[in-house]
Structure 1
């Protein structure tokens, strides 16, 4: 599925959230096709969705969960940080919905105050196709780093896992066009994120938190602002239905049991606080606070949505 090649003008402001001294912008890429939800989360049936009526209309329609692809652009400690880079343009992909995209993602990122050359850090929560696409762009027939002045970060566990894996052709293509050019430019750093502990700080108030299960070395990103805290999920939580039903797991989780444990740990740490949960694939309103359903203690939660406000472009 390709978008039109004539792009509308990118907005001069972005939507996002202020945590005090840290701001987070949502930068849209595409809404994922309707069939993505039933494929990715097969246990999220209409009957399961019915048990969480708060999911509709924003997060699900009558039959399926809704999902999106976007990045988070973070300003913290004087640094510009991009968390995950989506699917990317012009990439040859086996998934027809991702193949040969032509979106205005970079224009939107620039309008939010994050022109590619200004970005200091790119955080990869995990090395999947829809999280590394804008790591590179096509210039004169060559894939080159989109963010030439940035350090790209991935957890050492994640990097080592894929380095030791026999890749199918589709995944090998992704590494060739979106990961290896960054590595070969000397821009990718492998971060030793401890399996236990509070997280590994990569910038002031920005921590990588272990979130294994979807992949062995996946991380979530914790933001500790002066006024409040936030957590960017990566694919530890694909969709808000997994708050109400944490045992609903992704069909591509490497270790579903570990993914369920990770989800329980992360949600338990957010529940009944003012911390924001920021979903990497959540459709708008994207974020909210986590509350136990009706005061229950059985690990079932709901999201109290907190829509993004208009933020000026990063300065």
Structure 2
């Protein structure tokens, strides 16, 4: 388990699974082996010798202002998913949470940066009667109102409907889902924890900004999927709802962080997962920061 200290705030990475090598080529089709090779700083942690991108699924567990906060909940166990790498998982994620001091009943808040299957799966676990019940029974689950509204519009493909039915709607039914309006300049949720809108990948996606003792960090959500996007922020995901907005969001974030000591914590970055943004040629690079 890796962790970082941001002033008085402790951030733990709670691993679920590494993603298979073919994920990167599907997710970021513009990140060809030639493009990856030009960013030689990606190897060996973030990319392999053949240009394959390394990606992972994990949550960030944050101790802040006397609360235990979980940012995103991964894929989940026993979920029916169209993606074979996500289908019917059986991992020890809850044990990893407990080892970090975040046993499910002790979690106070769950922040969902956006409503995709690999960010909401552990919202629920299957009960003995076959129903999906909240994994974190004493927590308030929170997502952006704009995000919730987006998924409520129109017909959804079956895989999206399945994800909402097993991982989001049960939370709503149990009265645990809170919707928040995320202001353009950010919305402070707790002292030292601010939600910042990062639209493009989905309309209501947000990043999580942590600040304490003169230090700061940003948990990306999927506004940055992989460090290769620092080398060229125009590299977009095949599942971005608004590709142009996603590029603007990513470019703006990296420009603000470049040359600062703000830690970038990638929601799909493999170990070492965290780093600071530095200018590099016409783009940027990630200078890794090891865990404490």
TM-score by structure 1 length?
A: 0.91
SS across alignment from 2:225: coil
1:89–1:133 contact (8 Å) kept in structure 2: yes
Deviations 1:272-308 (A, max 9, x none): 0111000000000000000111xx5x4x100000121
1:124 to 112, 116, 135: 112
What is the correspondence of 1:7-46 to structure 2 with a 5 Å cutoff? Answer: 14-46=1-33
**Cross-structure match for 1:301:** 284
Q: Cα offset for 1:27?
A: 0.4
Deviations 1:237-295 (A, max 9, x none): 000000011010000000110000000111111110111000000000000000111xx
Deviations 1:163-213 (A, max 9, x none): 11311111111111000000000101110002x21x111112111100000
**Cross-structure match for 2:144:** 155
Is 2:261 aligned against 1:274?
yes
**Cross-structure match for 2:70:** 82
Q: Cα offset for 1:227?
A: 3.8
**Cross-structure match for 1:142:** 131
1:73 to 61, 68, 80: 61
What is the correspondence of 1:1-315 to structure 2 with a 5 Å cutoff? Answer: 14-62=1-49, 63-140=51-128, 141-194=130-183, 196-197=184-185, 199-293=186-280, 296=281, 298=282, 300-309=283-292
1:277–1:287 contact (8 Å) kept in structure 2: yes
In the aligned structure 2, how far is the partner of 1:32 from the partner of 1:262?
25
In the aligned structure 1, how far is the partner of 2:95 from the partner of 2:23?
26
1:44–1:64 contact (8 Å) kept in structure 2: no
In the aligned structure 1, how far is the partner of 2:273 from the partner of 2:182?
26
Q: Cα offset for 1:226?
A: 1.5
Query: How many pairs does the alignment contain?
Result: 290
In the aligned structure 1, how far is the partner of 2:52 from the partner of 2:25?
6
SS across alignment from 1:127: coil
In the aligned structure 2, how far is the partner of 1:292 from the partner of 1:255?
26
SS across alignment from 1:107: helix
Root mean square deviation of aligned Cα: 0.8
Q: Which runs of 5+ in 2 are unaligned?
A: none
In the aligned structure 2, how far is the partner of 1:147 from the partner of 1:307?
29
Q: Cα offset for 1:109?
A: 0.5
2:189–2:195 contact (8 Å) kept in structure 1: yes
